Structure 1
Amino acid sequence: MTNTNVVTAPPRSGVRRALPALGLFFLSPLVAEFLLGNIPITALFALLTLAPLYGGGAVLIREVARRRGWGYPSIVILALAYGVIEEGITTQSLFNPDYAGLRLLDPGHISFLGMGAPWTLMVLGLHTLWSITVPIVVLESLSRRPREPWLGKLGLGVYGVLFAIGVVATTAFGYTKDPFRASAGQNIGVVIAVLVLIALAVRVGRRAPRRTGGNVPSPWLIGAAALVVTSAWMLVNDQVPNGWLCAAITLAIEILAAVAVVDLSRRSSWTRLHTLAAAGGAMLTYAWHAFPESPVFGASHTADLIGNAVFALLAIGLLIGATIRCEKFGDA
């Protein structure tokens, strides 16, 4: 069965309707880098340089999906494609054996691909869930009409240009800092992977969603479970020294979590609040993980802790506001 719920343009235009897209444009890099603790609050200016890549990608993914009437499965798949683009093309961290001097590919090295199994699973997981999907869920939860497009054709074109600028600028900056260049085969592999993921997102999006019977746990339990599972995922990648064991456990957690979410979200008793709870639990994992994280930019320990606390409180505030909006508007 084909999904025919296609919206080609926003039912009403105006600056007010486009504000959620602007919010997503900045929330995506805030979650991806600042809430994680990778960049301290003293380097908040970096948000302006990160937003075109992260935010532009998130807005494009969200708008394309909602214009076509696609659901979160397609958004998640496109988010994974975004991760492949960023780490395979712009930073090349999937293939660079000495990226940032960290030797990220040594554990669980796959020689014929020139990749590291645990790093690949981790960094693509970070982008898929936290950089793209979580910000989209939070902003849509704050919206009265979460399934409708926020932008007209002009606005969509503007964010498309911003994303292209972000990709080109990040790639060019990386080239000036590191002499490494991925091989032709690796670049071709990245292009093929992105095209396959886009095709899969289209195929999944065109299928009418199937609703099943059965109860689901309360949103509070869903949020708590998401916090525990994503925290375990982070701790495995932080603490398990054996590369292949780390990759195996990481992949197992990802598969089990995906199966559980797909099964539960198909049930008729699953609501927007459940979706927000799942994203909120993941968001809180980033919030606590920031405190033991060492930022890539220099900052005093005090400034780092203050920044982590500020971003954590902002995340909690957003989740509270989104929860209130979900309860007010239901599944509209």
Structure 2
Amino acid sequence: MPAIPAPAALPRSRRRWAAVAGLLVLSPISAEYLIGYGESTNRPLELLAGLLILAPLYGTVAVLIREITRRTGRGWPTILLLSAAFGVIQAGLIDQSLFHHEVDAGDPDWATEPQHTLIPGLGVDASNLLNYVGGHVIWSFAAPIAVVESCAARIADRRWLGPAGIGVMVVLWALGAVLVFSDAASDSTAGPAQLSGAAVVAVALIVAAFTVRPTSGRSSAKAPSWWLGGGVTGVAWCASQLLPATWVGTTVNVVAMAVLGWLLLRWSRSPGWGRRHVLAAAGSALVVRAGLSFLVEPLGGVDGAVKYAVNAAMLAGVAALLLLAARRLRRGEPSTC
């Protein structure tokens, strides 16, 4: 009996568009849905409809950050700095959540906690600044980019879009940003100085993204196993989400993230570091995000059984996606980055 031929691989153009579509969807899911705080958590159709706004707002930025970085031959420092810049743009200029301090008495306790780390004169809460901007860096952009690139490892370092595709992403982002801005503007309490300051910081981060150069030296120490690296990063992600919103908690959080950044930089320069390590670090962030959703009380009245079912479905989806990415990496795709 003749052997049945294996299914043909997707044409390169289709693989690129599949990767773009995956990142467009994973970015907003990671940013907004995995943690399960939304009042539509128990309404799957509303979650799907929400992607029509969130994918242009988050997903297009993730795609553009990845595309710009790969086209210019740069690496993760550029991705992280551009992610921070768009985190400031998102939280400081578009939805202006950095400057919104009013609370609804009917919200859960986590949403009505007093702000203990308000920075005098700036009208910005340090804990919220770390949570919003740092959250965008990790969960909105960097982790989704790493996971999708692992799923598409054969084209991870290549361009995914042409000029027309980039133009479409820019237009979609602009439309989403205008829609969210117009909705948030009526409740905005940000003054001109605060908005100008956010714009200056965002521009500075963008300039730094194209100025920073990766160090050329290599570390003599061998990189840890990918599962150990994923475990360390997972503990750090979990701590960053659970530390209290106080000056002590915020300070510990900043120090922990700085130490983690130093470790990742050191490991990435060590022999044996590869795409599995990147996937482990990014995947642990998604797992932590989805796992902690079981502890979060959503906004609005959400039935407990439905909430936990949605949380479990999200966690299972993350596990399936990471298994797929790991399988792709084991099938002989490039292992270094």
TM-score (norm 1): 0.89
Q: Tell me whether 1:290 sits opposite 2:289 in the alignment.
A: no
Q: Tell me whether 1:189 sits opposite 2:197 in the alignment.
A: yes
Q: Tell me whether 1:231 sits opposite 2:238 in the alignment.
A: yes
Aligned positions of 1:69-148 closer than 5 A? 69-98=73-102, 102=111, 106-143=115-152, 144-148=154-158
User: Whole-Å Cα distance in 1 between the matches of residues 302 and 259 of structure 2?
Assistant: 38
Change in Cα spacing, 1:100 to 1:25, as seen in structure 2 (3 Å) is farther
**Matched residue, 2:252:** 249
User: Whole-Å Cα distance in 2 between the matches of residues 300 and 109 of structure 1?
Assistant: 34
**Matched residue, 2:314:** 311
Q: Max radius of gyration: which structure?
A: 2
Change in Cα spacing, 1:249 to 1:36, as seen in structure 2 (3 Å) is same
User: Whole-Å Cα distance in 2 between the matches of residues 14 and 127 of structure 1?
Assistant: 29
**Matched residue, 2:159:** 149
| Conserved 8 A contact 1:85-1:190 | yes
Shift of 1:298: 4.1
Q: Give the percent of matched residue pairs that are identical in Structure 1 and Structure 2.
A: 34
Q: Tell me whether 1:218 sits opposite 2:228 in the alignment.
A: no
User: Whole-Å Cα distance in 2 between the matches of residues 208 and 161 of structure 1?
Assistant: 35
Change in Cα spacing, 1:293 to 1:68, as seen in structure 2 (3 Å) is same
User: Whole-Å Cα distance in 2 between the matches of residues 289 and 171 of structure 1?
Assistant: 29
SS across alignment from 2:189: coil
SS across alignment from 2:155: coil
Question: What are the superposed Cα offsets for residues 281-304 of structure 1, whole Å, 9 maximum, x if unpaired?
Answer: 111110111111122354311111
**Matched residue, 1:4:** none
User: Whole-Å Cα distance in 1 between the matches of residues 89 and 81 of structure 2?
Assistant: 13
SS across alignment from 2:218: coil
SS across alignment from 2:211: helix
| Conserved 8 A contact 2:16-2:155 | no
Gaps of 5+ in 1: 1-11
| Conserved 8 A contact 1:141-1:323 | yes
| Conserved 8 A contact 2:236-2:257 | no
**Matched residue, 1:23:** 22
Shift of 1:15: 3.8
**Matched residue, 1:325:** 328
Change in Cα spacing, 1:150 to 1:248, as seen in structure 2 (3 Å) is same
Change in Cα spacing, 1:41 to 1:200, as seen in structure 2 (3 Å) is farther
| Conserved 8 A contact 1:98-1:104 | no
| Conserved 8 A contact 1:96-1:105 | no
Shift of 1:181: 3.3
SS across alignment from 2:37: coil
Shift of 1:214: 2.0
**Which amino acid letter does the alignment assign opposite residue 203 of structure 1?**
T
Shift of 1:207: 4.7
User: Whole-Å Cα distance in 2 between the matches of residues 320 and 302 of structure 1?
Assistant: 27
Regions of 4+ moved over 6 Å: none
**Matched residue, 2:5:** none
Change in Cα spacing, 1:139 to 1:253, as seen in structure 2 (3 Å) is same
**Which amino acid letter does the alignment assign opposite residue 72 of structure 1?**
W
**Matched residue, 1:3:** none
**Which amino acid letter does the alignment assign opposite residue 128 of structure 1?**
V
Match of 1:266 among 266, 269, 276: 269
User: Whole-Å Cα distance in 2 between the matches of residues 81 and 35 of structure 1?
Assistant: 23
| Conserved 8 A contact 2:100-2:190 | yes
TM-score (norm 2): 0.88
| Conserved 8 A contact 1:215-1:267 | yes
